[in-house]
Structure 1
Amino acid sequence: MSKRFTMIYWKSEKFWLGKLLEHPEIMTQGETLEELEENLKDAYRMMVMEDVPDGYQIKDIIVV
Protein backbone atom coordinates (compact mmCIF):
# COMPACT_ATOMS: atom_id res chain seq x y z
CA MET A 1 0.00 0.00 0.00
CA SER A 2 1.56 3.29 -1.05
CA LYS A 3 0.75 6.75 0.26
CA ARG A 4 1.60 10.17 -1.10
CA PHE A 5 3.04 12.84 1.22
CA THR A 6 4.42 16.35 0.86
CA MET A 7 8.10 16.78 1.71
CA ILE A 8 9.11 20.18 3.11
CA TYR A 9 12.87 20.68 2.88
CA TRP A 10 15.66 23.23 3.17
CA LYS A 11 19.45 23.37 3.07
CA SER A 12 21.50 24.00 6.21
CA GLU A 13 25.23 24.64 6.09
CA LYS A 14 26.02 20.94 5.75
CA PHE A 15 22.83 18.88 5.28
CA TRP A 16 19.43 18.94 3.63
CA LEU A 17 16.75 18.93 6.34
CA GLY A 18 13.14 17.99 5.87
CA LYS A 19 9.86 16.82 7.30
CA LEU A 20 6.51 15.55 6.07
CA LEU A 21 3.76 18.17 5.91
CA GLU A 22 1.18 15.55 6.88
CA HIS A 23 3.34 14.27 9.78
CA PRO A 24 5.42 17.22 11.04
CA GLU A 25 6.73 15.10 13.92
CA ILE A 26 8.77 13.15 11.35
CA MET A 27 11.93 15.10 10.59
CA THR A 28 15.33 13.97 9.32
CA GLN A 29 18.35 14.98 7.26
CA GLY A 30 20.49 13.82 4.36
CA GLU A 31 23.67 14.80 2.57
CA THR A 32 21.70 14.93 -0.71
CA LEU A 33 18.03 15.51 -1.55
CA GLU A 34 17.78 11.87 -2.61
CA GLU A 35 19.17 10.69 0.73
CA LEU A 36 16.81 13.04 2.59
CA GLU A 37 13.82 11.61 0.71
CA GLU A 38 14.87 8.02 1.47
CA ASN A 39 15.45 8.90 5.14
CA LEU A 40 11.97 10.44 5.38
CA LYS A 41 10.44 7.32 3.84
CA ASP A 42 12.34 5.12 6.29
CA ALA A 43 11.33 7.31 9.25
CA TYR A 44 7.66 7.13 8.21
CA ARG A 45 7.79 3.34 7.83
CA MET A 46 9.42 2.99 11.25
CA MET A 47 6.80 5.26 12.86
CA VAL A 48 3.75 3.48 11.47
CA MET A 49 5.11 -0.07 11.59
CA GLU A 50 7.06 0.09 14.87
CA ASP A 51 4.71 -2.08 16.94
CA VAL A 52 3.37 -4.28 14.12
CA PRO A 53 4.58 -7.92 14.18
CA ASP A 54 5.58 -9.90 11.10
CA GLY A 55 2.66 -11.66 9.42
CA TYR A 56 0.34 -8.66 9.66
CA GLN A 57 -2.63 -8.27 7.31
CA ILE A 58 -3.91 -5.21 5.44
CA LYS A 59 -7.49 -4.13 4.76
CA ASP A 60 -8.71 -0.81 3.38
CA ILE A 61 -11.38 0.86 5.50
CA ILE A 62 -13.38 4.07 5.17
CA VAL A 63 -13.51 6.49 8.09
CA VAL A 64 -16.29 9.08 7.91
Structure 2
Amino acid sequence: MLSNYTARYIKIGSGYLGQLVEWPEVVTEGKTLEEYGEMLKDALKEMFLAYHQQNKEIPSGGALLEQVPVEV
Protein backbone atom coordinates (compact mmCIF):
# COMPACT_ATOMS: atom_id res chain seq x y z
CA MET A 1 0.00 0.00 0.00
CA LEU A 2 1.34 3.43 -0.93
CA SER A 3 0.77 6.36 1.41
CA ASN A 4 1.75 9.99 0.84
CA TYR A 5 3.07 12.18 3.61
CA THR A 6 3.72 15.91 3.55
CA ALA A 7 7.28 17.01 4.27
CA ARG A 8 8.09 20.50 5.44
CA TYR A 9 11.68 21.66 5.46
CA ILE A 10 13.80 24.76 5.88
CA LYS A 11 17.26 25.76 4.76
CA ILE A 12 19.74 25.86 7.63
CA GLY A 13 23.45 26.65 7.70
CA SER A 14 24.47 23.00 7.32
CA GLY A 15 21.85 22.07 4.71
CA TYR A 16 18.15 21.27 5.19
CA LEU A 17 16.10 20.34 8.24
CA GLY A 18 12.58 19.01 8.06
CA GLN A 19 9.80 16.82 9.37
CA LEU A 20 6.52 15.30 8.31
CA VAL A 21 3.41 17.41 8.86
CA GLU A 22 1.19 14.44 9.71
CA TRP A 23 3.86 12.69 11.81
CA PRO A 24 6.01 15.35 13.55
CA GLU A 25 8.17 12.72 15.27
CA VAL A 26 9.75 11.96 11.87
CA VAL A 27 12.53 14.58 11.76
CA THR A 28 15.79 14.58 9.82
CA GLU A 29 18.34 16.73 8.04
CA GLY A 30 20.75 16.53 5.13
CA LYS A 31 23.45 18.60 3.46
CA THR A 32 21.51 18.73 0.16
CA LEU A 33 17.83 18.40 -0.72
CA GLU A 34 18.61 15.01 -2.27
CA GLU A 35 20.35 13.80 0.89
CA TYR A 36 17.55 15.23 3.03
CA GLY A 37 14.96 13.35 0.96
CA GLU A 38 16.82 10.06 1.32
CA MET A 39 17.27 10.59 5.05
CA LEU A 40 13.56 11.41 5.42
CA LYS A 41 12.51 8.22 3.63
CA ASP A 42 14.85 6.21 5.86
CA ALA A 43 13.55 7.90 9.02
CA LEU A 44 9.96 7.21 7.93
CA LYS A 45 10.69 3.52 7.32
CA GLU A 46 12.31 3.22 10.75
CA MET A 47 9.36 4.96 12.40
CA PHE A 48 6.93 2.59 10.64
CA LEU A 49 8.87 -0.37 12.03
CA ALA A 50 8.99 1.08 15.56
CA TYR A 51 5.26 1.87 15.60
CA HIS A 52 4.43 -1.58 14.22
CA GLN A 53 6.55 -3.30 16.88
CA GLN A 54 4.84 -1.27 19.61
CA ASN A 55 1.36 -1.84 18.13
CA LYS A 56 0.88 1.93 17.85
CA GLU A 57 -1.45 3.47 15.29
CA ILE A 58 0.34 4.77 12.18
CA PRO A 59 -0.68 8.37 11.40
CA SER A 60 -2.40 8.70 8.06
CA GLY A 61 -0.90 10.93 5.39
CA GLY A 62 -2.43 13.19 2.82
CA ALA A 63 -2.32 16.58 4.55
CA LEU A 64 -3.11 19.58 2.39
CA LEU A 65 -1.12 22.76 2.89
CA GLU A 66 -1.91 26.30 1.90
CA GLN A 67 0.26 29.39 2.06
CA VAL A 68 -1.56 32.40 3.44
CA PRO A 69 -0.17 35.79 2.36
CA VAL A 70 -0.27 38.50 5.01
CA GLU A 71 0.95 42.07 4.70
CA VAL A 72 3.05 43.02 7.71
Q: TM-score, normalised by structure 1?
A: 0.72
**Which residues of structure 2 form unaligned runs of 5+?**
54-72
The aligned residue for residue 43 of structure 1 is 43
Secondary structure at the aligned position of 1:45 is classed as helix
Alignment of 1:1-64 (within 5 A): 1-50=1-50, 51=53
* Bigger relative contact order, structure 1 or 2 (CA pairs below 8 A, ≥6 apart): 2
Question: 1:12-34 CA distances to partner (integer Å, 9 max, x unpaired)?
Answer: 11120010001011100011111
Q: Distance in 2 between matches of 1:42 and 1:3?
A: 15
Q: Name segments (4+ residues, structure 1) moved above 2 Å.
A: none
Instruction: Letter of the 1:23 partner, please give it.
Output: W
Identity of aligned residues (%): 43
Q: CA deviation at 1:8?
A: 0.3
Instruction: Tell me the number of residue pairs that the alignment of Structure 1 and Structure 2 aligns.
Output: 52
Instruction: Letter of the 1:14 partner, please give it.
Output: S
Q: CA deviation at 1:35?
A: 1.1
Q: CA deviation at 1:43?
A: 0.5
